[in-house]
Amino acid sequence: MHPGLTIGEFAQVTHLSVRTLRRYHESGLLEPASIDASSGYRYYTTEQIPSAQVIHRLRELDVPLAEVGKILATDDPHARAELIAAHLDRLRTSLDRTRAAVTSLQRLLRPESGDLEVELRTQPARMVAAITDVVDLDDVLPWYDGAMAELTAAVRGQLGPPGGHYANELFSAGRGAVLVYVPVADPPSYGRVRSVELPAVELAATVHHGPHDDIDVTYGRLGAWVVDHTLAVDGPVQETYVVGPRDDPDPASWRTEIAWPVFRLTG
C-alpha cells in the first residue's frame, strides 16, 4: 500500500519541524518506519505519533536528547518513571537556584549597606578529623552532606563548629580539592575519616549571615577588603559553619565564617 507519511505530513500532525524530525532520526530517537532505499525518503506511520509527542514533551522539559534516548530505550515502566523522576528532581533544584538568584539579585541591586567587618588573625595549627576529596563544583553539596554525615558519625567530643576548605581551582576550573573537618581532641581514622593537621595561616575572616545562595557576594566583599589592604589571597578558602543546618533549620539564621589565607604584599 502507501509507504506511510512523508516527513512533511508527519511534521504537520505532530507539530514538530521537518528539520527537528531529521535530527531525531540521526540521533536515533525516532527511526522512521521505513526509508526508501533509492531516494532516501523517510516514511513514518501514525503509530509513531505518540513517541514523537513524548519526545516533544521531554524536550520541553529540557531533557537532553541523549537522556531522551535512554528513556525511550527503557522498556520497564518503573525504570522509565525513575529516569523521568530524576530529571524532574533536577528541574526542581534548578528552580530553587533560580529563586535564590532572584532574591539575591534584588539584594544586590539595592545600595549595599555598611562596611564589612573583617578580622585579620593568625590561625594556629590544629589537629582535626577530616575527609578530603577532589570533586566537581556541581557535586560539592551532596558530597558535603555525605562526608559530614560520615564525620559526625565517626567522631565524638566535638570541640567546635565544623568547617570546610575549598581549593580555588574548584571555582576557576570547576573541579578541585575539598576538605571537611570537625575539630576534636583525638581524631579517629575510620572509613574516609583521617586525622589531619591544619597548618597555621594568616587569615582574613568575616561572617556571612543567612543562606549560602548569597555567599559569593560576601566572598567578593571579603576579596575587596583583602586587596584594599594590600594583601593577597594565598590558598583555599576556609569556611566555618558557626551556625549551620544542624543548629538551626532556618537558613536565615545561619552564620558562616569565610576566610582566605592571605599574605602581606612586600611593596
Site membership for DNA, residue 17 (CB under 7 A) = yes
- Nearest residue to 83 (alpha-carbon basis) of 105, 61, 103: 61
Minimum CB distance to a copy of itself smaller for 34 or for 46: 46
59 binds DNA (CB under 7 A): yes
Work out which of 6, 53, 152, 158 binds DNA, going by CB under 7 A: 6
Does 118 bind a copy of itself (CB under 8 A)? Our answer is no
Stretch that binds DNA, among 39-47, 70-78, 121-129, 256-264 (CB under 7 A): 39-47
# of chain residues touching DNA (CB under 7 A): 25
Check residue 89 for interaction with DNA (CB under 7 A). no
Residues 232, 42: Cα–Cα separation, whole Å: 63
List beta partners, residue 184: 158
- Hunting for cell 533544584 — which residue is that? 93
Going by C-alpha positions, the residue among 202, 206, 152, 203 that lies closest to residue 181 is 152
- Contact status: 66 vs DNA (CB under 7 A): yes
Size of the site for a copy of itself (CB under 8 A): 59
CA atoms of 219 and 205, how far apart (whole Å): 10
User: What does the CA dihedral 175, 177, 183, 184 come to, rounded to 10 degrees?
Assistant: 120
**Of the candidate residues 142, 199, 220, 251, the single one contacting a copy of itself (CB under 8 A):** 220
Task: Outline where 46-166 has alpha helix (H).
Answer: 49-60, 65-73, 77-109, 140-154
SS3 223: helix
Using rule CB under 7 A, residue 72 touches DNA: no
Check residue 9 for interaction with DNA (CB under 7 A). Answer: yes
Instruction: Confirm or reject binding of residue 78 to a copy of itself (CB under 8 A).
Output: no
One-letter amino acid for residue 229 of the chain:
H
User: Angle of helix 49-60 relative to helix 65-73, nearest 10 degrees?
Assistant: 140
What is the nearest approach in angstroms of a copy of itself to the Cβ of residue 121? 20
- Binding residues for a copy of itself (CB under 8 A): 2, 5, 8-9, 11-15, 17-18, 46-47, 49-50, 52-54, 56-58, 60-61, 77, 80-81, 84, 88, 91, 95, 97-98, 101-102, 104-105, 108-109, 112, 168, 171-174, 216-217, 219-224, 226-228, 232-233, 265, 267
